[in-house]
Amino acid sequence: MKKARIIVPLAIGLMLMSTAAVFAQQAPPAFKVGIINSATAFETSAEGKKAYAQFQERDSKIKADIQKLDAAITALQNRMSTGRLTMTQEALVATQADIDKKTTERKRYEEDATRDFQQFQATIVQRIRNEMVNIIIALRKEKGLDFVLDLQTSGIVDFDPAMDITAEIVKRYDAAKAAAPPVKK
């Protein structure tokens, strides 16, 4: 009986140790990871380049409109300063009111244009991003990757450049956009 009390725990201990040794010899599962630089993908894709051109065109128009408003304000200020001695008090008050009105108009235009531009930009970036996500998912499955990280948002400090799939994503995205008929607005 005493022998059984010693042998049974000893046998259980040996079985546990051998099981632990088997698990220790097995390597943890390896993950296959892909890396994409979303900013580079956006900047180098044909759609991204078109979007940047649209952004620059819209920004240039806004700046030109603001310059016209600034010129009108400057013209009113010059008229007031040069005519200060010859203008009636009512004319001076009316000119100052025009300057204030134009200044308010400029400020409102700039705020509205900035808000509209940001919405326009966000809409286009989100559309392109959503289209790219489908290609990223397909490529992840094709390459047997466990997950794909975005270099811009993931906080990665260092990685093997062979894991970067950005160029392949851009190539496939451009091919998909070239094959699709243009969308009418």
Report yes or no on 140 lying in a domain.
yes
Domain that holds residue 74: 2-179
184 assigned to some structural domain: no
Inside any domain, residue 147: yes
Helix (H, G, I), strand (E, B) or coil at 34: strand
Structure tokens at 47: 């759609």
User: Which tokens sit at 20?
Assistant: 């632990």
Q: Phi/psi of residue 154, each to 5°?
A: -90, -15
Q: Specify if 121 maps to a domain.
A: yes
Domain count, the chain: 1
With 0.75 as the threshold, say if the pTM is over it: no
Domain assignment of residue 185, yes or no:
no
Residue 39, classified by CB atoms within 10 Å of its CB into exposed (0-12), middle (13-18) or buried (19+), is middle
- Mean pLDDT of all residues in 62-72: 96
Distance of CA 181 to the CA centre of its chain: 25
- Residue 20 is predicted with a pLDDT of 47
Task: Let me know if residue 59 belongs to a domain.
Answer: yes
Q: Please check whether residue 143 is in contact with residue 35, taking contact to mean a CB–CB distance below 8 angstroms.
A: no
The three-class DSSP label of residue 36 is strand
134 falls within a domain: yes
Asked whether residue 160 is domain-assigned, the answer is yes
CA–CA dist 11, 14 (Å, integer): 5
Tens digits of residue pLDDT in 73-125: 999 999 999 988 888 999 999 999 999 999 999 999 999 999 999 999 999 99
Banded pLDDT at 17 (limits 50, 70, 90): low
Name the 3-class secondary structure at 157: coil
